[in-house]
């Protein structure tokens, strides 16, 4: 098991590179789940996701939206799509 955290003076820090890797992995997980559920190709789902408000929020590491995990991100995206249809 690897640890992405570094302890410094009783505070925990995560490197920007590792945060970005976590975000990238989360995007891949969400896009693959959506593609599988909708019987679509992930390469078709990816640009739609990245152009969404959800994708933009996830790519902003400062939002800490990436902390929520793939199911929460996917649910948020689905809600966004529902709002945009109405």
pLDDT of residue 33: 96
Name 53's Cβ contacts closer than 8 Å, sequence gap at least 6: 80
pLDDT of residue 4: 53
pTM for the model stands at: 0.80
- How far is Cα of residue 70 from the mean position of the Cα atoms in its chain? 6
Mean pLDDT of 57-62: 92
pLDDT of residue 1: 43
- How far is Cα of residue 60 from the mean position of the Cα atoms in its chain? 10
């Amino acid at each position: 098991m690897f640890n992405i955290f570094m302890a410094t003076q009783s505070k925990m820090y995560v490197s920007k590179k590792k945060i970005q890797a976590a975000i990238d992995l989360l995007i891949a997980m969400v896009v693959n789940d959506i593609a599988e559920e909708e019987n679509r190709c992930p390469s078709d789902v990816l640009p739609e996701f990245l152009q969404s408000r959800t994708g933009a929020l996830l790519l902003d590491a400062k939002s800490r939206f990436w902390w929520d995990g793939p199911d929460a991100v996917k649910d948020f995206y689905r809600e966004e799509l529902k709002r945009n249809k109405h």
